[in-house]
Chains A and B, each alone.
Chain A
């Protein structure tokens, strides 16, 4: 069943929803072991042509190993890797139509910018004039024309990054592999470069595979993200889906900030699910259906910005329970500039707290909420997602 993309769709490019589309890169039951350590565990993944795909995960999750297997620096212990329909087993790195941008950039220190970009072209035995033309084109693409004759140590970090990009793109690879490409840049430059990368990808229409531990980076640049943990893929989806409908507590917790509320299923139907929150003393109603049975313990996950916070507690008549709202008391406020995050104790002081984000639309002095205020926290029927695992 094709899932509907949630939220504003940036492009109408969704080959993964088309069951007849042929994958461009395919990992088939790939396992990679280093001695006793399993870096990649029986993993399958399909990436489509012209896609900007991100492998996201913490260190040691196997994402870099995936990329290195695709580039040919590691060979899978088990399974197959196909690129454009061709099995890559036994093909050495220097014969693969994939080029890599290294995390350290790996620029050749004894060659100029030009020399670095031309290196791969010379390996292909391209004619001199063609090489010069291609190098010029690449320099233009990454806006480094004035620096052609410089050596890598005479460039700034951002410039080096662009040389590495130009060098990897010069051979017009079928796939560009980016290993933590922006990790060494400072925040501002990183954000600029993210957009630049997206523009270049759209211009060249090459398939990009990026490995990153930075979730914001993955969300910004990628068409789809695979969240990895311990050699397995936890979820593959668009950035919006990953954020709005994580499929597990791991993904929910890994991407952004989230409130996880433990709850027991009270009733299920076609129209949705009713749960009793364990610590909150309220009921949770949602239009989402679940496979969990009545009486099962599940987790209801709501993003902080989807929780409304209002001054004053709400009284309820005897015998009725609050639905999708609970009373609390503010015990900490984190002022972040653009937003403030309120931590409120809920559920009669049993240590459970809920975070809610409020945009600072007024100046700080006019803020109506402060420490120790009694507040009401509430959320909509479709604010959160039920997680069973």
Chain B
């Protein structure tokens, strides 16, 4: 009759439940990665597909062994030799770090203000934070072009105020990229931060005040240290996607804005060098493994502490 699903004996149905999404992910998520890895070891060729050795299941096991023997790490060597890639990696990390820091400076007061707002407002404020996340990323980035252009709205406004008499060049610089990343990923930072700040027991602040600590000091001694888990989670959530970002550096950045996502795109679509772009992808993934694993550990620790 009723059977517990945690027991080793499983019905056919519960196996099917596991199998369907599992197989889908194996075929459409894991297998593609293996292919990327494989192609990163191939040579570029003027062919369709534009790489050698081509992957051909018809040749069977012998064909597979044959193609493995043709693998080379040339693409990776190439990446180390051409400093474009090194610079892209480094510059991606630098841009992501700076943007994350700015996002924290902008996002902390927002999250703090939300968590101290009257209870009745909080749900609305939360929705206002999430709402931009639902609107198209591309549109949100596009909106900034009109603002940041030389003859754009920001410059018009500043000229009108009389703060400047020459338009500032912001679009097509790294500053525009920072603005774009902060703007696009701000909700990712605010949400986990708000969640920690909202859970903060207000009696702790009362206790600090009761023990002689004025409220502005209580912020640094109590609130900020206790919100660190949210700060860390939020920063990871901005940093990780920012490193591999393509749209923002492409639309807002200049020709000398180097980011690895953009380099990969150019390598793939403009130069049609599939093996090298695959190698770039593999290295980008390796670059992200460290923060992703750190983030997972952080989340796990948080969950354990809560339970």
Contact = CB atoms under 8 A, between A and B. Distances in A.
| Contact flag (A, B; Cβ within 8 A) | yes
Contact of A94 (B201, B214, B222, B225): B214
A92 B207 contact: no
Interface stretch (A102-110, A223-231, A257-265, A331-339): A102-110
Interface in B207-223: 207-215, 217, 221-222
Contacts of A110: 225-226
A213 B225 CA distance: 35
A308 B221 CA distance: 62
B151 interface: no
A100 B211 CA distance: 8
A93 interface: yes
B206 A102 contact: yes
Interface string A117-159: 0011001100000000000000000000000000001000000
A168 B204 CA distance: 13
Given A95-B212, A100-B210, A109 B203 contact: no
B207 A100 contact: yes
Given A106-B203, A106-B206, A110-B225, A92 B213 contact: no
A123 B213 contact: yes
Contacts of A123: 211-213, 217
A171 interface: yes
A104 B226 contact: no
Nearest to B210: A100
A190 B217 CA distance: 35
Interface string A183-196: 00000000000000
A35 B221 CA distance: 33
Contacts of A107: 207
Interface string A220-261: 000000000000000000000000000000000000000000
A301 interface: no
Max chain B C-beta neighbours (<10 A), residue from A73, A94, A120: A94
A95 B209 CA distance: 9
Contacts of A104: 201, 203
B212 A94 contact: yes
B222 A108 contact: yes
Nearest to B228: A110
Max chain B C-beta neighbours (<10 A), residue from A72, A100, A153, A167: A100
A71 to B, nearest CB: 6
A120 B204 contact: no
Given A108-B222, A109-B226, A110-B225, A102 B212 contact: no
Contacts, number: 66
A123 B213 CA distance: 6
Interface residues of B, number: 19
B174 to A, nearest CB: 36
A66 to B, nearest CB: 15
Contacts of A95: 212
Contact of B211 (A72, A73, A109, A171): A171
B206 A93 contact: yes
A119 B205 CA distance: 12
B60 to A, nearest CB: 60
A119 B218 CA distance: 11
Max chain A C-beta neighbours (<10 A), residue from B206, B212, B215, B226: B212
A119 B208 contact: yes
A63 B208 CA distance: 22
Interface in A44-84: 71-73
Contacts of A73: 206, 209-210
A276 interface: no
A124 B212 CA distance: 7
Contacts of B226: 109-110
A99 interface: yes
B302 to A, nearest CB: 13
Contacts of A168: 210-211
A94 B207 CA distance: 9
A93 B210 contact: yes
A17 to B, nearest CB: 32
B210 A99 contact: yes
B209 A94 contact: yes
A341 B117 CA distance: 53
Given A109-B226, A110-B226, A93 B201 contact: no
Given A99-B210, A123-B213, 15 more contacts: A71-B206, A73-B206, A93-B206, A95-B212, A96-B210, A100-B206, A100-B207, A103-B203, A106-B201, A109-B204, A110-B226, A119-B208, A119-B211, A119-B213, A153-B305
20 contacts: A73-B206, A73-B210, A92-B209, A93-B206, A94-B210, A94-B214, A95-B212, A99-B210, A100-B207, A102-B207, A104-B201, A109-B204, A110-B225, A119-B208, A119-B213, A120-B212, A123-B217, A167-B211, A168-B211, A171-B211
What are the 5 closest A-B residue pairs judged by CB atoms, nearest first?
A120-B211, A123-B212, A106-B207, A106-B203, A93-B209
